[in-house]
Amino acid sequence: MKKLLMISTGGTIASTLTEDGLAPGIKPEDMLNYLNGVENICKIETHELLNIDSTNIQPEHWIEITGFIKRVYNDYDAFIITHGTDTMAYTSAALSYMIQNPDKPIILTGSQKPINMDTTDARKNLKDSIAYALSEDVAGIYVVFDGKAIIGTRARKTKTKSFDAFESINYPIAAFIDGKRIAKYVRNEKKGPVEFYENIYPNIFLLKLAPGMQPDVLDYIGDKYEGVVIESYGVGGLPFEDRRNFQEKLESLTAKGRIVVIASQVMREGSDMSIYEVGFKTMKNYNVLESLDMTIESAIVKLMWIMGQTKEFKEVKELFYKKINEDIIY
């Protein structure tokens, strides 16, 4: 019988109603009481590592989660992390970079309604997570939600209230789960022994372009942050006309040694800055990176992980375009 560890971090799944609204308050061992019969298919233990709303999740928490899993990694066959939905995609991306090549499943799940509500989706999501964790030939970081297993670097929350809250962006669903029936479509490639990374650089700024924005915002960002991800339009590019010339400001930003990644505000299909002049000039004239088909969550967190190892542009570039947990296929 396989041995699983359920790690609780809080979130809606563990929440109860308070005077100030929903707040985490249910212990992980109490959550198991809602799952009839689970003790007959596996041995499952629980550990409350955090007890917070996922809006409060920070990079330091990812280090804490990674360090804890590292300490107990050899004691269990699989890990299920219950987590709030709002930042789950960031955490699943972070763990994909901080725990590379795991030979066992590390699954994040949660719910849109607390587990103690009659209409909750929590019980299904937990049962699906356990079923997927127990199935054969599953290893890697996943989000399991609403009957779908999504590779950790490809998950994104696309709905605020509905049960089908997560989608796999620019990559197929790894598996569909319907009770004990699991249809697998892709699986992670094993590339070597498991590696744990506990250094991460959180000082990254996300800037979303909008018409009318003043380019001197890049001066402020360059003084405060060493890395910036710019969500530009369409397939990627920065304005260069005299009225609001972002490319001119980009020159001073990169001259300071700041690492700049250009991403797209469009969720699907990714960037290709070779197509239009606004993108081609940006890539040709400045030391910048583009996110290609990565999710915005993965682009941000990958840059944090890389800059925790190095801040040399050549080395950052090499690592940024290296495929990790199926995060990039261009």
Catalytic residues: 12, 85
Please answer whether residues 82 and 49 qualify as being in contact, where contact means their C-beta atoms are separated by less than 8 angstroms: no
Q: Is 232 annotated as a binding residue?
A: no
Q: Is 86 annotated as a binding residue?
A: yes
Among 90, 114, 111, 12, smallest CA distance to 53 is for 12
Give me 260's structure tokens.
């700049």
Calculate the alpha carbon distances from 249 to 52, 161, 169, 219, 253 in Å: 39, 40, 31, 7, 6
CB 133 within 8 A of CB 125: no
Residue 85 labelled as part of a binding site: yes
Sequence-distant (6+) residues with CB within 8 A of 240 are 246, 247, 248, 278, 281
- Report strand pairing: 78-82 vs 105-109: parallel
- The 3-state DSSP class for residue 216 equals coil
**DSSP 8-state symbol, 163:** S
Sign, CA dihedral 237-242-247-250, equals negative
Contact 88, 157 (CB under 8 A): yes
- Report how far residue 188's alpha carbon sits from residue 203's, in angstroms, rounded to the nearest whole number: 30
Six token digits for residue 80: 């299920």
Both tokens of residue 308? Answer: 């925790």
- Known binding residues for substrate are 54, 85-86
Residues annotated within the binding site are: 54, 85-86
